[in-house]
Chain A
Amino acid sequence: METVAMYWESRIKTYGFQVVKNLSLYAYAFSAELWQRWKEVEADHNRFQLVCAQQGETGGLELILVCNPEQGRACARRIESVLAKTAGEPRVTSPVELIFFQGPHFGDRFGIADFTCRALEEQVDDLLAALFTSASIYLVFPKGAADKARDRLAAAFRVPR
């Protein structure tokens, strides 16, 4: 079945920008075997703000976890105790700042990522991580960059009043 949609805006609508500051980014290189033991980490009630993983050249996954520093440290201790030595030290960037937002049919429309990068101008170079999945966009910046990035995005996208 084919569905043809026509959805175009002179200014792309969002449902507003959320900014969260004072977060930590943990990056782990995990082999596939280590993932099997992840459930032993017993993450309890720890919560993440963002998680993503990419396959590296060796076939393992690099996991990026953005969460509040206390929960991140607790999680890192558990990972170290269960997967000690084999997991290796995480690469930690802290503090970091997160902007996330969503909009109508973002996941079904071409050009949303391009529009976002253009709106950010040279701040694209500051990005530590970015996710464009389904209808949502998550952007991770170093400390002090999120407010300026939000202002640029808010000037480019249409924001609800």
Chain B
Amino acid sequence: MRIKGLKISEELCLVRLSGKAPADRLLKAFCGLLADGRINTPFMTTACRPGGLQVDCCVAAADQAGLERRASVEPALSACLSFRPGVGLLTLFPHRASLEVLGRLQAVLAENRIPVFGLASSIGALTCALAYDCLDAAAAAVQTCFELEDNHAPFRAEFTVSQATRRHPGGRE
């Protein structure tokens, strides 16, 4: 099965919010905390279950301390947060909305005993949150069951883009 590419992220921290409070309050408070800290999240999944809300998101490793500091002044929110440093994202594209692509990707990671901390689709790609130290091994394993198009190789983010402006998007001060 052919794919067009694999992308490997820089080192990130996986932040998990889980709690029983109304999703409205928890999610808004958490997203507000990130926005106030000017912290970007290249990956975020939110799921509401009968037992409560869980939000998994990745932030730059350099943002972890700042986020923990900001959260510490809001004990109700801070109690719902946990941090897993040393995480990275492996992105495969395109997924073609195919369950077979999903199955192959997950199976090859499981066969190689590479734990998956999270997964999300976007319009064209499937992104897995993995241990940062496993990203190269994961990319190699994925290439045993997917064929990259000619002259393509897994590429690693060589630079990060950060917003220099301190103005909130959409005009919020």
Interface residues of A (CB under 8 A from B): 1-12, 27, 32-33, 35-39, 41, 43-55, 61-65, 75, 91, 100, 102, 105, 107-118, 122, 124-125, 127-136, 138, 156
Closest beta carbon of chain B to A54's beta carbon, Å: 5
From B38, B54, B126, contact of A51 by CB (8 A): B126
**Does chain A have a CB within 8 A of B40?**
yes
Given contacts A7-B165, A118-B172, A134-B125, 19 further A-B contacts (CB under 8 A): A2-B159, A4-B162, A8-B167, A12-B169, A37-B107, A39-B103, A43-B102, A53-B119, A62-B47, A108-B161, A110-B163, A111-B170, A113-B44, A114-B172, A129-B48, A130-B45, A133-B43, A133-B121, A133-B125
Assuming the contacts A49-B97, A125-B24, asked whether A5 and B163 have C-beta atoms less than 8 A apart, the reply is yes
Residues in chain A near residue B159, CB distance under 8 A: 1-3
Give a binary string over B88-105; 1 marks a CB under 8 Å from any A CB, 0 the rest.
000100001111101110
Q: Which residue of B lies closest to A103 (CB)?
A: B169
Q: Which residue of A lies closest to B119 (CB)?
A: A53
Residues in chain B near residue A41, CB distance under 8 A: 99, 103
Structural contact, A115 and B172, CB atoms closer than 8 A: yes
Q: Which of B105-152 contact A (CB under 8 A)?
A: 106-107, 109-111, 115-123, 125-127
From B44, B109, B118, B164, contact of A35 by CB (8 A): B109
Instruction: Please classify the interface of chain A as helix (H, G, I), strand (E, B), loop, or mixed, using the class held by over half of its residues.
Output: mixed
Interface size, B (range)? 35 or more
Residues in chain B near residue A134, CB distance under 8 A: 42, 91, 122-123, 125, 127
CB < 8 Å A-B pair total: 220
Interface pairs (11), CB distance under 8 Å: A1-B159, A3-B159, A3-B161, A46-B99, A115-B170, A115-B172, A117-B31, A124-B27, A131-B121, A132-B57, A156-B170
Residues in chain A near residue B118, CB distance under 8 A: 52-55
Q: Give the residue among A1, A62, A113, A124 with the most B Cβ atoms within 10 A.
A: A113
Instruction: Please classify the interface of chain B as helix (H, G, I), strand (E, B), loop, or mixed, using the class held by over half of its residues.
Output: mixed
**Does chain A have a CB within 8 A of B75?**
no
Q: Give A107 to B157 CA distance when docked, in angstroms.
A: 14
Structural contact, A36 and B99, CB atoms closer than 8 A: no
Structural contact, A55 and B117, CB atoms closer than 8 A: yes
Q: Which residue of B lies closest to A132 (CB)?
A: B44
From A7, A48, A55, A136, contact of B163 by CB (8 A): A7
**Does chain A have a CB within 8 A of B168?**
yes
Q: Which residue of A lies closest to B145 (CB)?
A: A39
Structural contact, B167 and A125, CB atoms closer than 8 A: no
Assuming the contacts A7-B163, A32-B115, asked whether A108 and B40 have C-beta atoms less than 8 A apart, the reply is yes
Residues in chain A near residue B172, CB distance under 8 A: 111, 114-115, 118
**Does chain A have a CB within 8 A of B39?**
yes
Closest beta carbon of chain A to B121's beta carbon, Å: 5
Q: Give A129 to B54 CA distance when docked, in angstroms.
A: 10
Structural contact, A113 and B123, CB atoms closer than 8 A: no
Structural contact, A127 and B42, CB atoms closer than 8 A: no
Structural contact, A109 and B22, CB atoms closer than 8 A: no
Structural contact, A6 and B45, CB atoms closer than 8 A: no
